[in-house]
Amino acid sequence: MIYKIYITIIMYFLIGAVGFYLINRKKSRDVNQKSWIKYGTYFLIINVLFLSIVINSIAFRFCTILIIVISAFELFTVFKESGYAKTNFFVLYIILFYLFSISFYWFSALDANIILFTFLILSIFDSFSQISGQLFGRKKLLPKVSPNKTLGGLIGGMVIAIVSAFLLKSLYPIPNYKLIITTFGIILFAFIGDIGASYFKRVYKVKDYSNLIPGHGGFLDRFDSLIAVGGWVLLIQLINF
């Protein structure tokens, strides 16, 4: 089954590559190159996390710790470089970050199939919301916080994520209504995590958290949604809805 799922991931990436080509074919060489570097890096990240989930739960636990520690370091670095400005905002933000991070860590102890389902739906939503947003997005959702977020991107990513949830139901065999609620929650918290990370950057007037990941705005910029979504999935497992 894992082999079939991995083949499915490759197919999604091939479809995504077509979308990226259509998006970037008329752009400058420099912009085109940066876009493909980001795409290639994302593909590598997806493979590393996928393998860490399916091979050994300890490996994924290590990845969660790494993500939390480096993301926290980025937050403190931005705060320090600002001259410790807006302290009250930073304290509130860091409290929320650690609450979600603790939940994310405990999420990594759940059954591997639940983790894999969550990770795949999140990755599909994240990828195709970006692609559909650039292809069809017109109406900006939160232009002052996250200029690239569009209604078209949100709807496109949501539709593909929901369809994919049913295709991947063998990983997480729950009733359809629970599957839909879980998937909508993943989408909502992915959006909240992304907007929250973008808002922090806007408050401190920085473009990126760091340049640790080529083509991306830092560790937190890449994993903000995963941290938030981990908390949601942990919650629904604890309440056993």
pLDDT in tens, 87-136: 999 999 999 999 999 999 999 999 999 999 999 999 999 888 888 877 77
pLDDT at 67 over 80: yes
Q: What would the two tokens of residue 227 be? A: 């941290």
Half-sphere exposure of 48 (CA within 13 A, CB side): 12
pLDDT at 196 over 80: yes
Q: What is the largest CA-CA distance in the chain?
A: 52
pLDDT band per the 50, 70, 90 thresholds, residue 137: low
The enclosing H or E element of 94 equals helix 87-107
The helix-helix angle for 57-81 and 87-107 (nearest 10°) equals 180
Task: Quote the pLDDT of residue 148.
Answer: 78
Task: Quote the pLDDT of residue 58.
Answer: 87
The Cα–Cα gap between 46 and 40 comes to: 10
pLDDT band per the 50, 70, 90 thresholds, residue 57: confident
Task: Quote the pLDDT of residue 17.
Answer: 76
138 and 151 in contact (C-beta within 8 Å)? Answer: yes
Looking at this protein, which amino acid is placed at residue 206? V
Give 56's DSSP letter. -
70 and 132 in contact (C-beta within 8 Å)? Answer: no
pTM higher than the cut 0.75: yes
Q: Around Cβ 84, how many Cβ atoms within 10 Å?
A: 9
Task: Quote the pLDDT of residue 218.
Answer: 83
Domain boundaries, the chain: 2-239
Distances (CA, A) of 225 to 39, 194, 240: 17, 5, 22
Looking at this protein, which amino acid is placed at residue 52? S
Place of tokens 């980025």: 74
Task: Quote the pLDDT of residue 241.
Answer: 65
Higher pLDDT, 139 or 76: 76
Strand 140-142 and strand 146-150: pairing?
Answer: antiparallel
